[in-house]
Amino acid sequence: MSNSHYLFPADFMADPSAHVFEDKLYIYPSHDRESGKPENDDGDHFDMRDYHVFSLEEVGGKVTDHGSVLALEDIPWAGRQLWDSDVAHCDGKYYMYFSLKDQTDIFRLGVAVSNTPYGPFVPQDDPIRGSYSIDPCAFQDSDGRYYLYFGGIWGGQLQSYRNNKLYPSGLLPHFHEPALTPKVARLGKDMLQFAEEPQDLLIVDEQGEPLKQGDTERRFFEASWMHKYQDKYYFSYSTGDTHQIAYAIGESPYGPFTYQGVVLTPVVGWTTHHSIVEYNGTWYLFYHDSVPSGGKTWLRSMKMVELSYDEQGRIKTIEGQ
């Protein structure tokens, strides 16, 4: 089956990060729930408390729910809100990277480890040193190095940081100034800490100029994803308040990346968040929308659809609705 379809109608799951491990597709989503928290621009209504893992062997076939693999109460430094996560495989172990507010209500990135792709995942005692904001994407390059991409504005708190330092009263740049950038850091050999200070990931326009904060149709908001196609690096992300999944292409995992266009037009619901992966020679987009919940933006359902490229390597835009 190559058409867009829901993967798990029995429950609300969002932000699906998909990978091929042990010849199967594994999906690591956020687990949405009805918490009764008020809806606001800080995202208090996204009040998630655990993660499930899903797998499938045949596209369109049975999707297995491996159950709850990591819960808020098991994480020693937890405050609230388990947001987007991702998983990397290295030397026989699986590392889950996740977004979570600590007990001072600051988002950090945590790591939890498992011997299998389907968990359970055992959390480290502390967040990754020097980590902040949300939406980690773990990417293994062809040379075997691993990178973590992350960041998100508004509720994701990225605007409170400059040069990796926290300025709690942080403001977004003015609309004519360069946009806040997503971050990237190479992971250390232990996969548990950064090997370097997080770096800015520059997204530029066709003239090589950094996208501006006011360019809301194109600038980065949240939901980093990295994949490689024909030896080029494709960085894709959500534009947040304009609800697109956009992408940019670069020659290195650090960029700079040149804006190319839209992967996915707006879906039903405020957030849009995705991953892109090749399985058995076909490329797929994993994403979510809020159709099954009747438009409740905090109750999202995960989907997948085939993705294709033109002869120049440009992704063909997928319609979200």
Spatial CB neighbours of 184, under 8 Å, sequence gap ≥ 6: 147, 148, 149, 150, 198, 199, 201, 253, 254, 255
Amino acid at 116: T
The nearer residue to ligand FUB, 100 or 249, going by C-beta atoms, is 100
In the complex, minimum distance from the CB of residue 173 to ligand FUB, in angstroms, rounded to a whole number: 20
Contact in structure between 316 and 306 (CB atoms under 8 Å): no
Cα three-residue angle 25-27-31, rounded to 5 degrees: 160
Of residues 38 and 144, the one with the C-beta less far from ligand FUB: 38
Active site residue 44: no
Taking a C-beta distance cutoff of 8 angstroms, is the pair 234, 278 a contact? no
Residues lying near ligand FUB in the complex (CB under 6 A) are found at: 14-15, 30, 46, 83-84, 99, 134-135, 152, 222-223, 271, 273
Residue 117 CA to residue 115 CA, distance in Å, equals 7
The one catalytic residue in 32, 86, 200, 222 is 222
Spot the catalytic one: 15, 84, 215, 289.
Answer: 15
**What is the rounded (10 degree) CA torsion for 197, 201, 207, 212?**
-100
Q: Is 222 marked active-site? A: yes
Nearer to ligand FUB, 135 or 200 (CB): 135
| CB contact set of 101 (below 8 Å; sequence gap of 6+) | 79, 80, 81, 107, 108
Q: 3-class SS at 159?
A: helix
Comparing CB distances to ligand FUB, the nearer of 223 and 262 is 223
- Taking the CA atoms of residue 82, residue 87, residue 90 and residue 95 in that order, the dihedral angle to the nearest 10 degrees is 20
Q: What is the C-alpha to C-alpha distance for residues 127 and 155, in angstroms, rounded to an integer?
A: 19
Please, which residue, 72 or 195, has the CB nearer to ligand FUB?
A: 72
For ligand FUB, the closer of residues 90 and 291 by Cβ is 291
Min dist. Cβ of residue 163 to ligand FUB (A): 23
Q: Phi and psi dihedrals of 73, rounded to 5?
A: -70, -15
Could you tell me the smallest distance in angstroms from the CB atom of residue 107 to ligand FUB? 9
Neighbours of 174 (CB within 10 A): 9
Residues forming the active site: 15, 222
